[in-house]
Amino acid sequence: MKTITNKLITWEEFIRRASSHFLCKPLPEDFLALEEEEIDEFIDENKTYWFQNCEANDLYEIIEVLANEMEHLHKHGEFEFEL
């Protein structure tokens, strides 16, 4: 695996990476261009077993929290992506 360091990573990429912890497929690259209902539908269709009872908007908030933490840690050199 290759570790990515000192690379500018967009907030959208952090969201996509975080979403893969809760969804069977990460949010699509163009998810910001989607309507809220389309994002909710994607989340509902791709929830992992453990989050089946979680509402889509609540799960998106959880994904955002993880993405924000990942971004914070990355900016402070404590988190790196591996490919």
Q: Does residue 7 have a pLDDT over 60? A: yes
E-only strand ranges, the chain: 3-4, 81-82
Per-residue model confidence (pLDDT) at position 6: 56
Please tell me whether residue 23 adopts helix, strand or coil conformation: strand
Which pTM was predicted?
0.83
The long-range contacts involving 4-8, CB below 8 angstroms and separated by at least 24 positions, are: 4/80, 4/81, 4/82, 4/83, 5/80, 7/81
Could you tell me the residue ranges of all domains in the chain? 3-82
Residue 79, pLDDT above cutoff 70: no
| Residues 27-43: tens digit of each pLDDT | 999 999 999 999 999 99
